[in-house]
Amino acid sequence: MVDISIIIPTLETDPTFGWEQQLEAAAVEGEVVLRDDPTASAARNAGIREASADKLVFLDDDSDPQEGYFERVSALLDDHPAVTGRIVDTGARITRGLSNQYDQGDEAHVTETVVGCNMAIRRSVLEDVGGFDERLP
């Protein structure tokens, strides 16, 4: 069984991310689950059903995880039911201006804001809450 399943909603037919080698070199074994369902929530729920791991990592197709991300998120999920990470504005049209809304700083802390493009959740938590609300666009 893999350590982490990385679930990515995308409409790209053959996406490459730029971090594949980082995942291959990671000290944790991971699988990438790509979904092209009509909404991000539907894609995440379908990805959960398809995923092998109990530790579920949710990234967007334009996410750029930093070095050591996959090991760090796996270790955090050993101690926490859900975690989210820093979001930095890439300057892309769709994300421009969002980093101020999502940036929670460098220090670890409890938060009520979980951002879909950089979050990780234990499968049991999602089973308890019934997954993502597919009524969301």
Higher-confidence residue: 63 or 100? 63
| Structural element, H or E, at residue 32 | strand 30-35
Whether the predicted pLDDT of 32 surpasses 60: yes
99: closest CA among 87, 112, 111?
87
pLDDT per residue over 98-127, tens digit each? 555 555 666 655 556 566 678 999 999 999
Q: How many Cα atoms occupy the beta-carbon half-sphere of 46 within 13 Å?
A: 15
Higher-confidence residue: 48 or 12? 48
